[in-house]
Copies of this chain bind each other. A is one copy, B any other.
């Protein structure tokens, strides 16, 4: 009636989920440990330390939230927001609206600063708007997966720090692929996920925050009723599951019993982080940068155009204009079915107009880059697109041979 799962082998060149590192996958098939087993607690403690490294932070607090990336985004925002709080959301892509959606449900007063999606903001523009709107929180996306643009944020963050404004940044699409400096950029809470450059399956969100945020959490702490009838707090966080004030105590020496940790995902996360750190973060970033250059060179040589400003494009995603007269979904289907290669479409106004090639984590490999360029050329050629034949792979190889 139901058969064992059959998982075809895929070359995944989307902006996530990407191919998991084989060492992380192997770790996930290790047997279960109890959640308070000393052997498991040691793994959790190491994970806490390793999470901080790609974030570029010396924060005391860093841990995983048991949910996909957006669970961490929601946990971060509801930790700070009380009904009526003013939140400024600068929008240069789709995922800024996810931040808005979460803030709206948390009953914040939201102000969107919107622009075209083809480039990020000038930092000064955002700072001007902060001065006008005077928010309690600025929530931004560091790298917009949907349109491939990346925001410089050091000046914005420093302005927030100097003016006692909280700066919450979604780093899901850049963590582990681009150098991040949470501390130097004045970021109060940063959030990432496992399914992109960490090369671990989707299912955990990574989070770090500073003392300023921890102070808020301490002031809002309410211990769960099943554990104590005494630690009540009229100003508690709206969710129990995504309550960072409890999660922090679950991941600390206090080890309150909040939930049953996702054992195998934590195994995988440990190994995914470890493999990055072992490679050396500078080497990891250099690999992503080189593979990005090869993808861009290949697409250019094929004669295709790009969406958005290449000078502010993040190295982990390349948005490509679908040529006139070509059905983007037909090309994607042929690539998946015949070549076993997956690339992504896009969202909102870009849907049907833009493909996205991801370049993330374990998927960011020379052989994958050459494979995706070959498959895209093959599919376009099959459907009669006007492209320069035989140039893409050569251009990419020239980057590698430099």
* Chain A interface residues toward B at CB < 8 A: 1-10, 12, 14, 16-20, 23, 25-35, 37, 39, 43, 46, 49-50, 66-71, 74, 94-98, 100-102, 104-106, 193, 195, 201-203, 224-227, 236-242, 257, 259-265, 267-268, 270-271, 273-274, 277-278, 336, 342, 347-348
Decide: A7 and B28 in contact? CB cutoff 8 A: no
For A102, the chain B residues whose CB sits under 8 A away are: 240-241
Instruction: Contacts A5-B30, A8-B39, A226-B94 given; indicate if A201 touches B274 (C-beta within 8 A).
Output: no
- Nearest B residue to A336 by beta-carbon distance? B37
Partner of A10, one of B34, B66, B69, B224: B34
Docked CA distance A57–B203 (Å): 27
Most chain B beta carbons < 10 A, residue from A227, A240, A274 = A240
For A264, the chain B residues whose CB sits under 8 A away are: 20, 25, 28, 201, 203, 264-265, 268
Most chain B beta carbons < 10 A, residue from A14, A66, A273, A278 = A66
Decide: B29 and A9 in contact? CB cutoff 8 A: no
Task: State the number of copies, please.
Answer: 2
For A96, the chain B residues whose CB sits under 8 A away are: 226
For A10, the chain B residues whose CB sits under 8 A away are: 31-34, 37
| Chain B min CB distance to A256 (Å) | 11
* A interface secondary structure, majority: loop
| Chain B min CB distance to A189 (Å) | 16
For A257, the chain B residues whose CB sits under 8 A away are: 347
| Chain B min CB distance to A90 (Å) | 15
Instruction: Contacts A30-B7, A50-B2, A260-B68 given; indicate if A347 touches B239 (C-beta within 8 A).
Output: no
For A104, the chain B residues whose CB sits under 8 A away are: 225
Decide: A260 and B69 in contact? CB cutoff 8 A: yes
Most chain B beta carbons < 10 A, residue from A4, A5, A348 = A5
For A7, the chain B residues whose CB sits under 8 A away are: 30-31, 33, 39, 267
For A268, the chain B residues whose CB sits under 8 A away are: 264
- Nearest B residue to A265 by beta-carbon distance? B203
